[in-house]
Amino acid sequence: MTTAMRYADFAAHEAHDVSPAYERLSLAVSRDDEVLALLGMLPPIKRQPNLLFGVVRFLGGPVQDPAAFHRYTVRNWQVIEAEIRTRTTQTNEAGRCAVLLPVLAALPQPLALLEVGASAGLCLYPDRYAYRYGDHVIGCGEPILDCAMTGAAPPTRLPDVVWRSGLDLNPLDVTDPADVEWLEALIWPEHTHRRARLRDAVAVAASEPPSLLRGDLVDDLPALAAQAPAGATLVVFHSSVLYQVPKPRREAFADVVRGLPGHWISNEAPDVLPYDTLPTPPDASSLNVLALDGRPLAWTRSHGQSIAWFARREIPDDQVEQEPHHGLQP
Ligand SMILES: C[S@@+](CC[C@H](N)C(=O)[O-])C[C@H]1O[C@@H](n2cnc3c(N)ncnc32)[C@H](O)[C@@H]1O
């Protein structure tokens, strides 16, 4: 796919109906020979719309008007290029905890949480946020994570987390204002509610900053998992990460995680892990599959807005003890 096609595709399939500003901008860039030539000097992985638009927003540039965006981008390319080369798209969405919570709450407590691809680690605090599943509220304080749930009753308890740690190729620091500004810039312009949620979640995380290790989810996972305390259920989890990982490395990761004690929760696009069958998705939006120990359980929306169960999530405690997760195949 050429860069022009990539931007046209982004406008039609990702930004359409979600971000009018990015839809306009992306379509304009797809027809803008000057900006396309600048992007052409970057490695292909660095030409993504989200990265360019995020950097321009981070630098305070205009993203509502394509003509103003063009002028700003061409005039300031040197500084834009430097930011693009050093930054990556690492959107950290605390809202995803709302789809992880039902599974976390059903596992034997207490939990030792290990998130791979943690970004700034905001999904490591599922016990500290409040949740609203329709009329059912659980937890207190901010942020309140709203989630529409079908196919099962909402959870009735928060997990008891006694250890939390994350792994990322490039961990971001919730106590570093520049990192937080970058996370804000990655949120699409119209999503003001998500920016408010990010600030609330950052405040929660900054009050007890997460332990985040710079490392790879295959090579560095066993050593970090070995640090989890005995007596707690180790839960390795990840959300919207594996699409960034090449297929052979995803397979290597699945092998490593199946070899660990405890449980494995994934919340990823349907095509990144090999499921035998998946039911028809509830709608045409881009959805993730929530799975426990390789067994798909539910469709989820990408920022945790909804969860549609298609399999039972409850795991009897006796089964958990007798049949560790690596006995379950995807
Ligand atoms: C889109 S972000 C998602 C962050 C977080 N999981 C969430 O749901 O909000 C993906 C993260 O995965 C990280 N990542 C990608 N490949 C990785 C790898 N091989 N090992 C560790 N982290 C990786 C990226 O650096 C990035 O921070």
Question: In this predicted model, what pLDDT tens digit does every residue of 119-167 receive, in sequence order?
Answer: 999 999 999 999 999 999 999 999 999 999 999 999 999 999 999 999 9
Residues 205/120, Cβ–Cβ less than 8 Å: yes
Distances (CA, A) of 177 to 63, 90, 182, 282: 22, 15, 9, 39
What is the separation of C-alpha 312 from the centre of its chain, rounded to a whole number of angstroms?
Answer: 24
Residue with tokens 């937890």: 139
Q: Is the CB of 168 under 6 A from ligand 1?
A: yes
* Atom 11 of ligand 1: nearest residue by CA position: 117
pLDDT of residue 283: 83
Query: pLDDT digit string (tens) for 16-31?
Result: 988 999 999 999 999 9
pLDDT of residue 285: 76
Best of 93, 241, 257 for a ligand 1 pocket test (most atoms within 8 Å of beta carbon):
241
Q: Is the CB of 170 under 6 A from ligand 1?
A: yes
Best of 168, 239, 267 for a ligand 1 pocket test (most atoms within 8 Å of beta carbon):
168
Name residues of the chain where pLDDT drops below 70: 313-330
Please state the pTM of the whole predicted model.
0.92
User: Ligand 1: distance of its center to the CA of 317 in Å?
Assistant: 31
Residue type, position 92, single letter: N
Distances (CA, A) of 273 to 89, 115, 283: 21, 17, 20
